[in-house]
Amino acid sequence: MSKRKKKEMFDTLLYTLPAILLVTVMMYIPFVMSGYYSLTRWNGIAKEAVFIGLENFKTVLSSGGEFTGALVFTIRYTFFFVLFSNVIALFLAVCLTKKFKLANLMRGVFFIPYIMSMTIVGFIWKFIFTQGFARLSAMTGWGVWDLSWLGNPRLAFYAVTMVGVWQSLGFYIVLYIAGLQAVPKDVLEASTVDGANGRQTFFRITLPLLGPSITTCLFMSLTNGLKVFDIILALTKGGPGSSTYSVTLQIYKEAFQNNNYGLGSAESIVYFVIVLVLTQVVLKISSSREVAL
């Protein structure tokens, strides 16, 4: 092996080793430790964890448990989050690719919430749902503003979903705009020459060619929906009751509030498997429907 190749290998190792060490320490080692603690009973304080086998997994998978309720809420939230995030983002992206004076300004306006902390967004909207809506009710007299958006279990779900969609919308708009701008102009012009109207051009040409962008947005929105945590913590803290408890919030409560690290680790392992399977299935289905440019 020449000195040049040896130097290249050394440089590659030198620059990648810190990243590998960081990922190993921050992700892989905690994951392995979580797998071990899921087989034990440990409160996080005792020097030694008591090995109990698969008892924690039996508790997690038992019907009627808190984890089951949190999983149902998370799947519901993720479904509506993915649906509305992608439909609204695609509609706005199509509008913002049109040529008008404020197009660039509107793109920035929609993207601003995405760069804000989710916790800050949650506290802002908590103020809006309480103080802001009360002021609007006094100004307009409309009864819709008097509804208990964070105190009613049914309304709290829609409030959390709306805030989640509002906060992340700008990111998906950017991805869809990039996809729309990558669609070949000559293909669109050819469809116009062949007599296709705007609706036919969009649904039969533009939308199929947006396959890679749709796949990316579906995957990102799916993972963001499944790991929702901070917005719920800031808005409702899982309430009223446990109506807005997500799985991530349930894992946090079990491990760090109930000091049951074994059961919390088991919940995280089970949820990891569920997320892994679900994301791979959605990614496979979405990728199979892509149309090459």
Q: In angstroms, rounded to a whole number, what is the distance separating the alpha carbons of residues 150 and 130?
A: 8
Query: What pLDDT is attached to residue 7?
Result: 82
Question: pTM for this structure?
Answer: 0.89
Q: In angstroms, rounded to a whole number, what is the distance separating the alpha carbons of residues 14 and 8?
A: 10
Structure tokens at 244: 């807005």
Q: Which residues share a beta bridge with 40?
A: 51
CB 167 within 8 A of CB 121: yes
Q: In angstroms, rounded to a whole number, what is the distance separating the alpha carbons of residues 179 and 96?
A: 13
Altogether, the residues listed in the chain come to a count of 293
Query: What pLDDT is attached to residue 292?
Result: 54
CB 138 within 8 A of CB 120: no
Q: In angstroms, rounded to a whole number, what is the distance separating the alpha carbons of residues 242 and 161?
A: 16
Closest C-alpha to 160, from 61, 60, 101, 246: 246
List the chain domain ranges: 63-288
Report which DSSP code applies to 49.
P
Write out pLDDT tens, residues 111-142. 999 998 888 898 899 999 988 888 888 888 88
Phi/psi at 242 (5° precision): -130, 30
For domain 63-288, give the fold: MetI-like fold (1.10.3720)
CB 125 within 8 A of CB 163: yes
Query: What pLDDT is attached to residue 291?
Result: 60
CB 282 within 8 A of CB 222: yes
Please report the DSSP string for the chain in residue order. --HHHHHHHHHHHHHHHHHHHHHIIIIIHHHHHHHHHTTEE--SSSSSPEE-TTHHHHHHHSTT-HHHHHHHHHHHHHHHHHHHHHHHHHHHHHHHTS--TTHHHHHHHHHHHHHS-HHHHHHHHHHIIIIIHHHHHHHH--GGGGS-TTTSHHHHHHHHHHHHHHHHHHHHHHHHHHHHHHS-HHHHHHHHHTT--HHHHIIIIIHHHTHHHHHHHHHHHHHHHHT--HHHHHHTTT-STTTT--HHHHHHIIIIIS--HHHHHHHHHHHHHHHHHHHHHHHHHHHHT----
Closest C-alpha to 264, from 278, 275, 274, 249: 249
What residue ranges of the chain have pLDDT lower than 70? 1, 63-64, 290-293
Beta strand 50-51 pairing with 40-41? antiparallel
Query: What pLDDT is attached to residue 63?
Result: 61
Query: What pLDDT is attached to residue 142?
Result: 84
